Structure 1
Amino acid sequence: MKITARLMYLLGASFLAVDAIYLVWSLLADNFELIGLMTMGLSGILCLFLAFYFGRVVKAGGAVPWVEDRLDAEIDDGDPEVGFYSPWSWWPVLLAGSLAIMFVGVAISAWIVMIAVPLLAVCIVGWVYEYYRGYFAR
């Protein structure tokens, strides 16, 4: 995590340096453009915020060191269990379909959204309670 903090400080400083160069260059060309300036500046500030957070966590000593920071780490140590996902479940597909219908409704007309919202609620409830009913109930 200490290396990540240093990299974030470096990345934030480089974003802010490029932002200053961009500002000078755009002012010299009489073509001031605010969006690029804000994007690079805020990206630099975000990197500095993350670097400060990672540095404080390391300094507090409360963080478990990442596998990348340990010198005795093996390759297999960096591959944790991500989570359990049902390979046979159709609920994520139905949820994506209902979200697609809802976004189409936002783009086209509000009555399509009124159809999609109950369908979306049914799909979320079905996915959450998938293991509480039927053959795979626990």
Structure 2
Amino acid sequence: MNTTSKIFYIIGTFFLVVGIVYGVLSHGSEPMGIEPVGAIALPGAFAMSFMIAAYTGFKAKSFPGRPDDDHDAEVEAEAGVQGSFAPYSWWPLWTSLGAAMVFLGVAVGWWLSTFGIILAMYGVIGWVLEFSRGQHAH
């Protein structure tokens, strides 16, 4: 996972540099002084990239010796179970629709982002608690 965190650090650094250049070059082209969508989207992409990089970096300490960090590893070293995924789950649909509404709200109007945040939170909570049967389940 060290490789993954390095890749996301590189991507985040790219978004940081592009965001700074974009802010400098677009300053004064809008009536308010700065173009609002790019001024929010590029630092947001920088923050999300660094958040993923930090998470995978912390997890790399818990799982040392992953095949993707070994330069001499064979393809077969990554074989096996990759995770447990819920079949036929509707929660990713609601989560993605909420996220789409949030991003569309940046371009259309902030009121739409409010509804998107509510829908996305509903989807994420339902997705996380999909297999929860309560505190006293047997």
TM-score normalized by structure 2?
A: 0.50
SS state at 2:17 partner:
helix
Match of 1:47 in 2: 49
1:22 aligns with 2:22: yes
What is the CA-CA distance between 1:28 and the residue it aligns to? 4.0
Please give the per-residue CA displacement for 1:25-58, whole angstroms capped at 9, x wherever unaligned.
1114346321222111111101111112222233
Q: Which has the higher helix share?
A: 1
Identity of aligned residues (%): 24
Please give the per-residue CA displacement for 1:87-133, whole angstroms capped at 9, x wherever unaligned.
xxxx96xx99xx9xxxxxxxxxxxxxxxxxxxxxxxxxxxxxxxxxx
Distance (whole Å) between structure 2 residues aligned to residue 35 and residue 2 of structure 1: 32
Match of 1:66 in 2: 66
What is the CA-CA distance between 1:83 and the residue it aligns to? 7.6
Distance (whole Å) between structure 1 residues aligned to residue 23 and residue 40 of structure 2: 10
Size of the alignment, in residue pairs? 90
Match of 1:4 in 2: 4
TM-score normalized by structure 1?
A: 0.50
Please give the per-residue CA displacement for 1:49-98, whole angstroms capped at 9, x wherever unaligned.
1112222233xx321433211233211223434589xxxxxx96xx99xx
Larger radius of gyration between Structure 1 and Structure 2: 1
SS state at 2:27 partner:
helix
Distance (whole Å) between structure 2 residues aligned to residue 68 and residue 83 of structure 1: 16
Quickly say closer, same or farther: Cα 1:45–1:62, change in 2 above 3 A: same
